[in-house]
Amino acid sequence: MHALVYTETQKIEYREEKNPTEKQGESILKIQASGICGSDMHAYHGKDDRRIPPLILGHEVSGIIQNGKFKDKTVVLNPLISCEKCDYCKNKREHLCPERTMIGMSRPIKREGGLAELVSVPEKNIYEVPKALDTKEAALAEPAAVALHAVILAEQTLKKSLAESKVLVQGAGAIGLLCGLILSKDKNCKNIFLSDPNKKRLDECSKYLDAKFVNPTDKSIKENDFDLVMDSVGLEVSRQQAIHVVSPGGSIVHIGLTQPSGTFNFRKLTIQEITLIGTYCYTNNDFKNTLNLLTNKKLGSLEWIEYRELKKGAEAFKEIHDGTCVAPKIILIP
């Protein structure tokens, strides 16, 4: 098969790789669509010790199963693989399983990912794609589940409804846009700000989301002014802004993984009873609910997705790295 292989920092090669072999309890998927995730970009930048080259990246995957009990079914993969035995798994918090792994990752177990023509995955991680959902769009289920889980966590901590809240979403990539769409279209939030330094990307997002679109330095982003801040960027500077602009008693949901540390105003966090939540993935239930959202077109048009050929994937990685990519999400087609 052909695959995109992460070979060293800022280097992706499209080359021939061995086909996955059949394993007990697993099925092989012929991939029809595979998205590039922010965590794939972290690996590309050499900043993810869980993804060690050489490795086929990618975990946002849909296609047709080639063998096993789902043979010939059109499916989407939940890439998070948990043990199903620990307390977290038994209490439906499998996303926190200490043995958790996923496709497209080297640790704790190496599993080749979905930026390829074929991938092997446990049958328990396979979900049939509803007939009303386009197979290529189904690959968006994984990042949409991340956003849905983040919004649910925010909803659980706020003292007033999301519909009444003023919200700042930092970052106009796929996770930021999806958070905005879920807030707007599923939670009826009418006062959303979406910030990003890339004006072209903001302009693209403005076609699909009812919000105010601003540069992170815009004067309309004021101190103590937002009930909720959702940081899909994860930079020290975005965290500093989040704590500066969140209102007393408000919440910050931290989703981004760009920088692992840095200075932060914990004094304000403490004195003003700010809730700070970190979140990275989602539960199996979130994944199922996301499929329903996508199937029922609850998030509106998905024309903000850009589809490209897998063999041109290295160019896509470079454009995302350079900041010249306008589309919030690129999905590669083998």
30-82: per-residue pLDDT in tens?
999 999 999 999 999 999 899 999 999 999 999 999 999 999 999 999 999 99
Query: What pLDDT score does 80 carry?
Result: 96
Do both 127 and 168 map to the same domain?
Answer: no
Query: What pLDDT score does 105 carry?
Result: 95
Instruction: Answer for the pair 190, 169: CB distance below 8 angstroms, yes or no.
Output: no
Stretch 182-206: mean pLDDT, rounded?
A: 97
Specify if 259 maps to a domain.
Answer: yes
The total of structural domains in the chain comes to 2
Specify if 284 maps to a domain.
Answer: no
Rg (CA), the chain: 19
Specify if 289 maps to a domain.
Answer: no
Specify if 291 maps to a domain.
Answer: no
Stretch 158-162: mean pLDDT, rounded?
A: 96
Do both 209 and 306 map to the same domain?
Answer: no
Do both 22 and 126 map to the same domain?
Answer: yes
- What percent of the chain clears pLDDT 90, i.e. is strictly above it? 98
Query: What pLDDT score does 5 carry?
Result: 97
**87-96 contacts at long range (C-beta below 8 A, 24 or more positions apart):** 92/283, 92/284, 92/285, 93/283, 94/283, 94/284, 95/149, 95/280, 95/281, 95/282, 95/283
pTM of the model: 0.97
CATH number, domain of 47, equals 3.90.180.10
Query: What pLDDT score does 221 carry?
Result: 98
Single out the residue of 188, 155, 201, 195 nearest to residue 324, CA to CA.
Answer: 201
Instruction: Answer for the pair 213, 180: CB distance below 8 angstroms, yes or no.
Output: no
Do both 115 and 77 map to the same domain?
Answer: yes
Do both 249 and 149 map to the same domain?
Answer: yes
Single out the residue of 206, 213, 201 nearest to residue 169, CA to CA.
Answer: 213
Domain with 255 in it: 144-278
Q: How many CB atoms lie within 10 A of CB 195?
A: 25
Chain-centre distance of CA 175, in angstroms?
Answer: 5
Chain-centre distance of CA 165, in angstroms?
Answer: 23
Query: What pLDDT score does 325 carry?
Result: 93
Backbone angles phi, psi at 269, to 5 degrees: -50, -45
CATH number, domain of 218, equals 3.40.50.720
| pLDDT tens-digit series, residues 241-252 | 999 999 999 999
Specify if 189 maps to a domain.
Answer: yes
Do both 265 and 171 map to the same domain?
Answer: yes
Specify if 160 maps to a domain.
Answer: yes
Stretch 1-29: mean pLDDT, rounded?
A: 96
Do both 112 and 238 map to the same domain?
Answer: no
SS3 (DSSP) at 187: coil
| pLDDT tens-digit series, residues 292-325 | 999 999 999 999 999 999 999 999 999 999 999 9
Chain-wide mean pLDDT for the chain?
A: 97
Query: What pLDDT score does 124 carry?
Result: 96
| pLDDT tens-digit series, residues 72-114 | 999 999 999 999 999 999 999 999 999 999 999 998 899 999 9
Do both 158 and 132 map to the same domain?
Answer: no
Do both 101 and 181 map to the same domain?
Answer: no
Do both 252 and 311 map to the same domain?
Answer: no
Do both 12 and 133 map to the same domain?
Answer: yes
Do both 78 and 122 map to the same domain?
Answer: yes
Q: How many CB atoms lie within 10 A of CB 215?
A: 14
Specify if 83 maps to a domain.
Answer: yes
Specify if 61 maps to a domain.
Answer: yes
